[in-house]
Chains A and B, each alone.
Chain A
């Protein structure tokens, strides 16, 4: 098992180095002078320009610049924002909990609704229920979520007034950021009603963000269940006289879940990278909104560092999914150990 883990972990390193090349090239590929672009309309005096050239190391040969960049990254220095002057790493981890909170809630929504949908569609294959579920799934899969989010806001927030329009907490409350997770922080605080406010702020963004994963999970679960339902052990379980619920929920679902878990894991990785569209629409102070604002402000060091951090998170999550897959599917693990 240990050998299997090391093997998969080692595969990350070349990809990571590749991504550093990509983010390194990013700033150098900007047409014109990146310093002038970042300075914007104010412009730069020639003296200041020379100072900045040296500070960012743009006056050195490219290969040396990349070497310096790689060493910095290895030392945990991901650069400093041009706008706020704070280290990119610090800015990233200030916002990361908000993104994690939203991603987990969206994923919980997607799994809680999508998994039963897929199971029911498979069990009632060819019926109206199956068509309804699959129709919903392909619609959800095709949904432009920036529009879907707007519709949800229009209906539930503007027309019905049930949920707030944006943000993480009502302005009536002030909660100390102890963990960064608003649900936990609001529970820890003395403010009454803060937790309810945090929950109501989470509902619409979670639904919007969870819709596409929900559709993918429902489809995956259905097709995986359909394959498993024809297996001999399911017939055996039926023949033993087990209740239909037990056959489906225990015998079939457990085996059908293996590919679904992979899909859930990979989707979680992508959600953890920040939901650019959802976070923008709901003014959710997470990684996605932070990155798109950095792009708009031409804050290249932040974009560079942020993209590298996001890629790292995704690679780590994918590695964990791979390992988890090995755990839940012994066939993979043993195949890897034998070679």
Chain B
């Protein structure tokens, strides 16, 4: 996103996107988050080029080798190796690909389902509204991680099922948010005008009203990225998400647990990767919230 050249005519108001970018770029935390996200995304996309080794490549001569800058470290392995001689840096880089994919898939699916449910509840009201929102209440009655675990328990452990579980768990947030935004938009004149002009319900829902409900959804989606990465890592850590030898950050941590006393680096770096990525999305989400809608500011 870059700011186009400003309009020479001073009186004309700047394009809304320019204005949002100006507010956003003033927030140093948000810019830091954005920079981190760019770096992580770059590393994830070009993992094959950036990573020194493959994620499952084993070096039989270097089990639990400490990071290269420490005494006894092997210069080949910057962040050291794990218990079966795999380069931790390479596994973290491939793990970034996995975590960002998890975030993207979960947020996309949750947006699609949640927004549709919220739109239906807001538009049709009555029984549809009650049914949808009660269902969401029921799902919110359980802690998110517990509900995700129960869903994985039913579907069976694995990365795909973990993603499904995390998606189901976050849908109520998007549905509630959309319904709230729709209800506040429905009474506006432009909706009535569109209706009078003969717009059908689908057009009203997705083309007329939805674009005006986007601000809170964009913020929620950005913050949802971090939530999804965190929850999927937690499931991986509990052995219910990605299975070994997949280089998923959470399951890397779980495998490293038994070496915590002998080799701190196998435990430290995967967690740091999770923290930095999650932090980046949270910082950017906060910045977006402030830029998109000052009223939303917590």
Q: Is the interface of A mostly helix, strand, loop or mixed?
A: helix
| Complex Cα–Cα for A19 and B264 (A) | 42
Residue A311 contacts which of B29, B142, B257, B279 (CB distance < 8 angstroms)? B142
Known contacts A18-B137, A273-B143, A311-B141; is-contact A295 B149 (Cβ 8 Å): yes
Name the residue on A nearest B286 (C-beta).
A138
Residue A144 contacts which of B264, B274, B283 (CB distance < 8 angstroms)? B274
| Chain A CB within 8 A of B113 CB | no
Interface size class of B (residues with CB under 8 A): 35 or more
| Chain B CB within 8 A of A14 CB | yes
Name the residue on A nearest B254 (C-beta).
A146
Most buried by A among B152, B154, B257, B264: B154
| Chain B CB within 8 A of A199 CB | no
- Write out, one digit per residue, whether chain B residues 280-298 have a CB within 8 A of any chain A CB (1) or not (0): 0011001000000000011
A167 to chain B, nearest CB (A): 16
- Write out, one digit per residue, whether chain A residues 29-64 have a CB within 8 A of any chain B CB (1) or not (0): 111000000000000000000000000000000000
A29 to chain B, nearest CB (A): 5
Most buried by A among B135, B152, B260: B260
- Write out, one digit per residue, whether chain A residues 296-313 have a CB within 8 A of any chain B CB (1) or not (0): 101000010001001100
| Complex Cα–Cα for A135 and B216 (A) | 23
| Chain A CB within 8 A of B180 CB | no
Contact A26 B141 (CB under 8 A): no
A117-145: which residues lie under 8 A (CB-CB) from chain B? 134-135, 138-139, 141-144
- Write out, one digit per residue, whether chain B residues 126-142 have a CB within 8 A of any chain A CB (1) or not (0): 00000000110110011
- Write out, one digit per residue, whether chain A residues 141-161 have a CB within 8 A of any chain B CB (1) or not (0): 111101110110110001000
B202-248: which residues lie under 8 A (CB-CB) from chain A? 226, 230, 233-234, 237-240
| Complex Cα–Cα for A311 and B150 (A) | 13
| Chain A CB within 8 A of B278 CB | yes
Contact A14 B238 (CB under 8 A): no
A73 to chain B, nearest CB (A): 15
A11 to chain B, nearest CB (A): 9
Contact A15 B138 (CB under 8 A): yes
A238-283: which residues lie under 8 A (CB-CB) from chain B? 270, 273-274, 276-277, 280
Known contacts A18-B138, A223-B298; is-contact A276 B149 (Cβ 8 Å): yes
Contact B253 A147 (CB under 8 A): yes
| Complex Cα–Cα for A19 and B154 (A) | 16
A144-187: which residues lie under 8 A (CB-CB) from chain B? 144, 146-148, 150-151, 153-154, 158
A-B pairs with lowest CB-CB distance, top 3: A147-B271, A18-B138, A142-B279
23 CB contacts below 8 A, A to B, read A15-B138, A31-B154, A138-B29, A138-B283, A138-B286, A141-B282, A144-B233, A144-B271, A144-B274, A144-B278, A146-B250, A147-B267, A151-B268, A153-B260, A154-B267, A273-B146, A276-B238, A277-B145, A277-B234, A295-B153, A298-B153, A311-B141, A314-B142
Residues of B within 8 A of A (CB): 29, 134-135, 137-138, 141-143, 145-146, 149-150, 152-156, 226, 230, 233-234, 237-240, 250, 253, 257, 260-261, 264, 267-268, 270-272, 274-275, 278-279, 282-283, 286, 297-298
